């Protein structure tokens, strides 16, 4: 893509503020409160700034905000981290990384639907190559799953369209770039909070204990008013990409 710069946080830390402003509304509010993810998230830019980057257009505009983290992985399905939570913990707690784990790609709302995510993902593959990481794994958050919160991820992640490609648009981007499905991950990202917190994050009321659908949730929310806790497991699908040699 001509006129587009790949700027890592190590190279251009001053882009972090504007990039956050451009993309802070791309995820639903509840997604900003991961129990494990939030514990580690700040360390990505502080300790691994060379794996965090932005795509920048020729007028200096932010086209995508990307987070990734090298992890140790032996190449087997059995050794995959326990979801995105397990991946970020492994990336910081265990050394000798040999694979890059994609964590998130955010494209500003007004620029979505133009194929920018493909460029962002190709840039991540290039980053892996540059650092000698031969594999790239991704706990993919299937974007259209929010319309099918009751369907188990094991089934949803396997759905295909009539043309043979994966049903989910974001998984399809990965597939078109050579990605293959490794396994569904029903419990990838844990988000818990008080009932009040979840009511605020979702702009809903949860008057009694039970299982609730909520806007943009990929699965349901379990509410327990007696203990004043509500918990959600975001499902993902692990996909793998082979990082080609230069
Ligand atoms: C998911 C995301 C990165 C895709 O980026 P993008 O540059 O808009 O994606 P593309 O233009 O390459 O489109 C990819 C596919 O998604 C589809 N798509 C794009 N925006 C969509 C939307 N709002 N709703 C449904 N499908 C959409 C496109 O039609 C395309 O599918 P196709 O196979 O039919 O061509 C972007 O929408 C985003 O930042 N979302 C919020 C954050 C997020 O969920 N990130 C992914 C998880 S880490």
Phi/psi of residue 174, each to 5°? Answer: -60, -45
- DSSP label of 116: H
pLDDT of residue 186: 98
Q: Are residues 109 and 31 in the same domain?
A: yes
Strand duo 229-242 + 180-193: pairing: antiparallel
Q: Are residues 207 and 150 in the same domain?
A: no
Is the Cβ atom of 210 under 6 angstroms away from ligand 1?
Answer: no
Pocket test for ligand 1, best of 41, 147, 169 (most atoms within 8 A of CB): 169
pLDDT of residue 245: 75
pLDDT tens per residue across span 141-166? 999 999 999 999 999 999 999 999 99
Q: Which of 20-24, 94-98, 144-148, 225-229 has the weakest average pLDDT?
A: 94-98
Pocket test for ligand 1, best of 28, 112, 179 (most atoms within 8 A of CB): 112
- DSSP line for 33-76: --TTHHHHHHHHHHH-GGGEEEEE-TTS-EEEEEEEEEE---SS
- Domain that residue 43 falls in: 4-188+237-242
Q: Are residues 145 and 213 in the same domain?
A: no
Q: Are 51 and 68 in contact (CB under 8 A)?
A: yes
Q: Are residues 174 and 197 in the same domain?
A: no
Can you read off the two tokens belonging to residue 128?
């892996």
Q: Are residues 59 and 140 in the same domain?
A: yes
Q: Are residues 210 and 176 in the same domain?
A: no
Burial class, 42, CB count within 10 angstroms (exposed 0-12 / middle 13-18 / buried 19+): exposed
Q: Are residues 198 and 168 in the same domain?
A: no
Q: Does 246 have pLDDT greater than 70?
A: no
pLDDT of residue 2: 78
The rounded distance, in Å, linking the Cα atoms of 135 and 132 is 9
pLDDT tens per residue across span 61-70? 999 999 999 9
Helix, strand, coil shares, percent, the chain, to 5? 35, 30, 35
**Other CB atoms closer than 10 Å to residue 88's CB: what's the count?**
27
- DSSP line for 131-174: TT--EEEEEE--GGGGG-TTS-HHHHTT-B-TTSSBSSHHHHHH
pLDDT tens per residue across span 19-46? 999 999 999 999 999 999 999 999 999 9
Q: Are residues 94 and 150 in the same domain?
A: yes
Which one, of 127, 102, 121, lies nearest residue 182 by Cα? 102
Which one, of 208, 205, 212, 203, lies nearest residue 231 by Cα? 212
Q: Are residues 148 and 98 in the same domain?
A: yes
pLDDT tens per residue across span 101-134? 999 999 999 999 999 999 999 999 999 999 999 9
Is the Cβ atom of 170 under 6 angstroms away from ligand 1?
Answer: yes
- DSSP label of 209: S
Pocket test for ligand 1, best of 37, 54, 107, 236 (most atoms within 8 A of CB): 107
Q: Are residues 127 and 226 in the same domain?
A: no
pLDDT tens per residue across span 184-198? 999 999 999 999 999
Section 232-241 average pLDDT? 98
Q: Tally DSSP H helices, then E strands, for the chain.
A: 7, 9
Q: Which atom of ligand 1 is nearest to the CA of 172?
A: 33
Q: Are 90 and 72 in contact (CB under 8 A)?
A: yes
Q: Are residues 225 and 119 in the same domain?
A: no
What CATH number is associated with residue 67?
3.40.630.30
Q: Which atom of ligand 1 is nearest to the CA of 108?
A: 39
The mean of the pLDDT values for the chain is 97
Q: Are 63 and 110 in contact (CB under 8 A)?
A: no
- DSSP label of 94: S
Q: Does 6 have pLDDT greater than 70?
A: yes
Q: Are residues 200 and 172 in the same domain?
A: no
User: Could you give the number of structural domains in the chain?
Assistant: 2
pLDDT tens per residue across span 65-89? 999 999 999 999 999 999 999 999 9
């Amino acid at each position: 893509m001509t006129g587009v710069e790949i700027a890592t946080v190590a190279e251009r830390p001053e882009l972090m503020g504007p990039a956050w402003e451009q993309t802070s509304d791309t995820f639903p509010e509840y997604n900003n409160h991961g129990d494990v993810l939030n514990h580690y998230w700040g360390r990505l830019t502080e300790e691994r700034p060379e794996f965090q980057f932005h795509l920048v257009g020729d007028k200096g505009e932010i086209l995508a905000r990307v987070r990734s983290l090298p992890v140790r992985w032996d190449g087997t399905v059995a050794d995959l981290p326990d979801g995105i939570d397990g991946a970020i913990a492994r990336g910081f707690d265990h050394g000798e990384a040999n694979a890059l784990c994609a964590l998130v790609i955010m494209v500003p709302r007004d620029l979505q639907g133009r194929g920018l995510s493909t460029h962002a993902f190709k840039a991540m593959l290039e980053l892996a190559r540059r650092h000698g990481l031969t594999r790239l794994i991704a706990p993919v958050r299937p974007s259209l799953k929010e319309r099918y919160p009751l369907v188990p991820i094991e089934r949803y992640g396997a759905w295909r369209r009539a043309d043979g490609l994966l049903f989910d648009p974001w998984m399809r981007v990965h597939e078109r770039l050579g990605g293959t499905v490794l396994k569904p991950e029903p419990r990838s990202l844990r988000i818990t909070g008080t009932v009040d917190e979840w009511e605020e994050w979702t702009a809903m009321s949860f008057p009694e204990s039970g299982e609730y659908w909520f806007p943009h949730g990929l699965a349901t929310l379990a509410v327990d008013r007696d203990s004043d806790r509500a918990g959600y497991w975001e499902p993902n699908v692990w996909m793998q990409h082979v990082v080609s040699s230069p």
